[in-house]
Amino acid sequence: MVVRHTSELDTTQMDVDQSLFSEPEDHGTIVSVQEAQWGTTIVTYKDGWKSRIVLDIYAQDVLVTECFQLLALILPADVSFDFHRAFLENWSAQWWSTAENVEFGCFTSALYAIFGLGVEDVFVPANPWLQLAQTSSHARFREDPALRFLRTPPSLPIPRPVHTVNSPHPLLCPLLYGLHMLGEHLRLLIHRHSDLLRFTPVLCRIALAIRPEWADYWKRLVPDAISAWPSPITSRMF
């Protein structure tokens, strides 16, 4: 919380906190909030004291910011609000960390929760030998002739996206199309390829729910985006 000086506020006939170190508890609980704009607002405490606070809750990750700007044009206001709130709740649980991939992880978690996209639970064995079956190398070299006469770990079920609701969210189609266009934009920018690698698994997760052939397209560009090749046979018609 940052408290500004009196000169920055319209303080006509009201007491405004002058100290940067004043404790809100000294004035009781907050009873109202007004003039909220761009993370800055004026709060009124129980005893009538007013303070301006600045909440720095804007994502620093460029990819997250671009996604929010895009989704603001696609989603209805109520869905956009719920999604943004879910993101902020996830991010606050991480203490507003701006460490690498934290913001994007909070974004994807909120996205999957709002649109009912989950992943089926797959048993993870404790045996290190069986855990080798979950590595990308195990699948990549499964048919390598050099390993033909060697004993390899048995293959385990592949985690697959599932719907956490009865049917796909009706906004998944415009969501997929908008994010697909953002992915194509990132694909053309060499300096953004690291962002594309983070972004592609999200595209594939959504595509597998409604358009598996689109997931096939992105997996051919980024092979590690998903673990298994999608099948168009499972595509749903809307």
Residue pLDDT, tens place only, 31-41: 888 877 767 88
Helix (H) or strand (E) segment spanning residue 45: strand 40-45
CA distances from 168 to 31, 115, 210 (A): 41, 8, 7
Per the CB < 8 A criterion, the answer to whether 236 and 169 are in contact is no
Please state the separation of Cα 98 from the chain's center in Å: 13
Strand partners, 50: 16, 44
pLDDT in tens, the chain (238 residues): 444 433 344 444 445 444 444 454 578 888 888 877 767 888 888 888 888 887 778 899 999 999 999 999 999 999 999 999 999 999 999 998 999 999 999 999 999 999 988 754 445 667 887 777 777 677 677 777 887 788 888 876 655 555 544 578 899 999 999 999 999 999 999 999 999 999 999 999 999 888 989 999 999 999 888 877 776 554 443 3
Contacts of 56 (CB under 8 A, 6+ apart): 39, 96
Give phi and psi for 42, each to the nearest 5: -110, 125
Sign of the CA dihedral with 160 first, then 229, 175, and 198 last: positive
Beta strands in 56-145 (DSSP E): 117-119
Predicted model pTM: 0.68
pLDDT in tens, 106-140: 999 999 999 988 754 445 667 887 777 777 677 67
